[in-house]
Amino acid sequence: MVNGISISVTQQDLVDRVISVECPVIDTRQSSSQQWQAFDRALPGMLGALFDLAAGALRELPNVGLPREDRPRLVEYVLLGMALAKASGKHPNEFLQQFQTTRAETVARTLDASPVASAVLEFIEANPYGIEASVKDILTRLEHYKPAGAEAWPRTPKGLGDALRRASPALRQLGVECKSLGNIGGKVKWAIKGKLATPCHASHEVIVPSGVGHDIKTSMTSSPAGTLATEVL
* Last-in-domain residue among 94, 113, 132: 113
In the predicted model, is pLDDT for residue 1 greater than 80?
Answer: no
Q: How many domains does the chain have?
A: 2
- Residues 65 and 94 grouped into a single domain: yes
In the predicted model, is pLDDT for residue 133 greater than 90?
Answer: yes
Rounded CA-CA distance 187/180 in Å is: 11
Domain assignment of residue 143, yes or no: yes
In the predicted model, is pLDDT for residue 229 greater than 60?
Answer: no
Domain assignment of residue 228, yes or no: no
Domain assignment of residue 179, yes or no: yes
Domain assignment of residue 35, yes or no: no
- Residues 69 and 123 grouped into a single domain: no
- Residues 135 and 172 grouped into a single domain: yes
Domain that holds residue 162: 114-194
In the predicted model, is pLDDT for residue 214 greater than 70?
Answer: no
- Residues 13 and 97 grouped into a single domain: yes
The model's pTM is 0.57
